[in-house]
């Protein structure tokens, strides 16, 4: 009897430990994911009846694109200035929380000899701007937290939207943008400028022409010490976001070019990811520096790393570090069966000898697969394979500027496609894929670096279009 009683007690204790262990490793209620073996799998909502995909979607041409800007702090004024150099644009509205920011942008219009735009000021003022019937496009450059509610409201009121990076920070926000874009048939584009960098776009053109063979591995990053800039963000929102959230919270500069190289949702898809991070060291120090109070709750590590595999057996490495004293780098590196490209810390190409290189007057037979091509050869290749977009507007882009001109190219392409009724260079599924890392990386880290299945935001359409291409 005593033995039986002891057995029951031990069994109960073991069961309790097992239950406790399971609870510790189980999904947090409401987060929308489950464990499937050694994989974390998120729910994917079914597309509503009558709702259609936005893949390759083209709206009716808009000869003159009427624009309203929301968020005129850090990125907004530069965008307003660039738009004053674009043809076929009317700036109708300017909206911000601060009257002074609206006034500064009104001055930009005045200096460009353009009419004054209607000004809107206050937390809810964006709604008045979105409700106007003489606006086609809402350009959103607010803090990250307000991107999605503004974008959804704008699309529901018949406006196309363009949103600064990252456009969304959670899967709920991402699905909200996808659903709203599909339901309203309005473009929802993320303003990712780095895909228009001169080296990146030239390299993409070379890749599409087959010079690198089959691309197997791509790397990207955002490595940028923000020590000089933390205080310039309104109400310290960016540092606060890193304090409150763990994961790669700013992945798009590295991930965007990588996904275009690998034809993501245009023949391939991101399938699984694993993320890890260092401990937080510099972040707490910065909070204490700015607030004078000790910080024991800083969540984001100084450095994050995410490894991604694709459906067709390719790999991507993405890194994030805004804390360390390191040279600026977006990494941008590709490895193919016939070649290699690298932008940071130096721009390099390396190729297997291939007769296709003769198009650029390159002595391909004497190439060495163990070292980069000479500067002379690199210059020939970059001239021969300059992307048609750069051939069209390189000179004015560098003159107007914005991160060396790539901001202008981004805005030009947005307006060009809207005016000509073309599919945008980046659709809502690009937005979704490039923005899913903040939440997915966090979940992987919080579960012992467990693999996470990347949702298919196209809901089965990722292989219907073969190869990423700009509409020209």
Q: What is the pLDDT of residue 356?
A: 74
Q: Do 118 and 207 have their domain in common?
A: no
Give me the pLDDT at residue 106, please.
98
Quick one: pLDDT at residue 14?
37
CA–CA separation, 135 and 127 (whole Å)? 13
pLDDT value at residue 362: 78
Same domain, 350 and 428: yes
Q: 381 and 307, same structural domain?
A: yes
Residue where a domain stops, chosen among 153, 171, 192: 192
Domain boundary among 192, 212, 243: 192
- What distance in Å separates the CA atoms of residue 48 and residue 338, rounded to the nearest whole number? 44
Does the residue 45 lie in any domain? no
pLDDT at residue 364 in the model: 67
- With vertex at residue 341, the alpha carbon angle to CA 389 and CA 313, rounded to the nearest 5 degrees, is 100
Q: How many structural domains does the chain have?
A: 2
> What's the DSSP call for residue 372?
P
Q: Are residues 379 and 322 in the same domain?
A: yes
Report how far residue 209's alpha carbon sits from residue 224's, in angstroms, rounded to the nearest whole number.
32
Within-domain flag for 387: yes
In terms of domains, do 283 and 385 share one? yes
Taking the model in full, what pTM does it have? 0.92
Determine the 3-state secondary structure of 294 from DSSP. Answer: coil
Helix (H) or strand (E) holding 205: helix 198-208
Same domain, 204 and 269: yes
Which of 192, 220, 252 marks a domain boundary? 192
Domain limits for position 169:
65-192
Are 140 and 239 found together in one domain?
no
Residues 114, 245: one domain? no
- CA-derived radius of gyration, the chain: 24
Pairwise CA distance, residues 317 & 73, whole Å: 32
pLDDT value of residue 369: 82
Per-residue pLDDT, 196: 98
Residue 385: the pLDDT is 95
Q: What is residue 29's predicted lDDT score, i.e. its pLDDT?
A: 36
* Residue 409 within any structural domain of the chain: no
CB 187 within 8 A of CB 181: yes
Give CA–CA dist 55/35, Å, rounded. Answer: 30
**Structural domain contains residue 183:** yes
332 and 203 co-located in one domain: yes
Which of 433, 54, 61 shows the shortest CA–CA distance to 251?
433
Q: Tell me, yes or no, whether 185 and 86 share the same domain.
A: yes
Domain-located, residue 37: no
Length of the chain: 472
- Looking at residue 173, which CATH number applies to its domain? 3.40.50.720
From first to last of its 472 residues, the chain has per-residue pLDDT tens of 443 443 333 444 333 433 333 333 444 434 799 999 999 999 999 999 999 999 999 999 999 999 999 999 999 999 999 999 999 999 999 999 999 999 999 999 999 999 999 999 999 999 999 999 999 999 999 999 999 999 999 999 999 999 999 999 999 999 999 999 999 999 999 999 999 999 999 999 999 999 999 999 999 999 999 999 999 999 999 999 999 999 999 999 999 999 999 999 999 999 999 999 999 999 999 999 999 999 999 999 999 999 999 999 999 999 999 999 999 999 999 999 999 999 999 999 999 887 777 776 777 667 778 889 999 989 999 999 999 999 999 999 999 999 999 999 999 999 999 999 999 999 999 999 999 999 999 999 999 999 999 999 999 999 999 999 999 9
The verdict on residue 104 lying in a domain is yes
238: domain CATH number?
Answer: 3.30.360.10
Please indicate, yes or no, if residue 350 is contained in any of the structural domains.
yes
- Please tell me the predicted confidence (pLDDT) of residue 355: 73
Q: 103 to each of 125, 127, 131, 146, 195, how far by Cα in Å? A: 15, 19, 22, 22, 31
* Domain co-membership, 303 together with 325: yes
Based on the domain organization, do 106 and 123 belong to the same domain? yes
Determine whether 463 is exposed, middle or buried from the number of CB atoms within 10 Å of its CB (0-12, 13-18, 19+).
middle
Residue 92: inside a domain: yes
């Amino acid at each position: 009897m005593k033995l039986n009683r002891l057995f029951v007690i031990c069994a109960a204790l073991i069961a309790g430990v097992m239950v406790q262990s399971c609870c510790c490793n189980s999904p947090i209620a409401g987060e929308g994911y489950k464990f499937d073996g050694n994989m974390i799998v998120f729910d994917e909502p079914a597309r509503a009846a009558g709702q259609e995909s936005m893949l390759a979607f083209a709206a009716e041409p808009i000869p003159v694109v009427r624009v309203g800007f929301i968020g005129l702090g850090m990125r907004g004024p530069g965008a307003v200035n660039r738009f004053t150099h674009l043809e076929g644009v009317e700036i109708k509205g300017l909206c911000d929380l601060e009257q002074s920011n609206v006034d500064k942008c009104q001055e930009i219009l005045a200096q460009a000899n353009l009419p004054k735009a209607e000004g809107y000021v206050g937390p809810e003022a964006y709604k008045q701007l979105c409700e106007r019937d003489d606006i086609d496009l809402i350009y959103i450059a607010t803090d990250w937290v307000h991107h999605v509610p503004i974008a959804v409201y704008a699309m529901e009121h018949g406006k196309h939207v363009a949103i600064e990076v990252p456009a969304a920070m959670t899967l709920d926000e991402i699905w909200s943008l996808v659903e709203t874009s599909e339901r309203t048939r309005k473009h929802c584009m993320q303003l990712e400028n780095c895909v228009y960098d001169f080296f990146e776009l030239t390299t993409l053109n070379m890749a599409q022409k087959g010079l690198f063979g089959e691309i197997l591995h791509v790397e990207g990053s955002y490595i940028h010490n923000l020590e000089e800039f933390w205080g310039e963000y309104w109400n310290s929102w960016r540092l606060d976001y890193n304090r409150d959230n763990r994961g790669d919270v700013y992945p798009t500069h590295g991930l965007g070019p990588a996904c275009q190289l690998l034809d993501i949702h245009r023949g391939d898809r991101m399938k699984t990811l694993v993320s890890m991070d260092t401990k937080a060291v510099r972040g707490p120090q910065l909070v204490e520096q700015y607030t004078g109070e000790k910080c024991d709750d800083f969540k984001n590590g100084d450095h994050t790393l995410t490894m991604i595999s694709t459906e067709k057996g390719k790999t991507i490495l993405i890194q994030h570090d805004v804390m360390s004293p390191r040279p600026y780098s977006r990494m941008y590196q590709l490895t193919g069966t016939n070649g290699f490209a690298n932008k940071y810390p130096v721009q390099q190409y390396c190729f297997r000898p291939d007769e296709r290189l003769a198009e650029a007057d390159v002595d391909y037979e004497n190439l060495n697969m163990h070292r980069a091509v000479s500067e002379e050869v690199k210059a020939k290749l970059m001239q021969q394979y300059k992307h048609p977009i750069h051939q069209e507007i390189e000179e004015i882009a560098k003159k107007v500027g914005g991160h060396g001109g790539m901001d202008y190219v981004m805005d030009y392409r947005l307006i060009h496609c809207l005016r000509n009724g073309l599919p945008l260079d980046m659709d809502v599924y690009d937005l979704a894929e490039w923005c899913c890392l903040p939440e997915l990386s966090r979940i992987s880290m919080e579960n012992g670096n467990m693999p996470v299945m990347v949702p298919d935001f196209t809901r089965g359409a990722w292989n219907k279009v073969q190869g990423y291409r700009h509409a020209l």
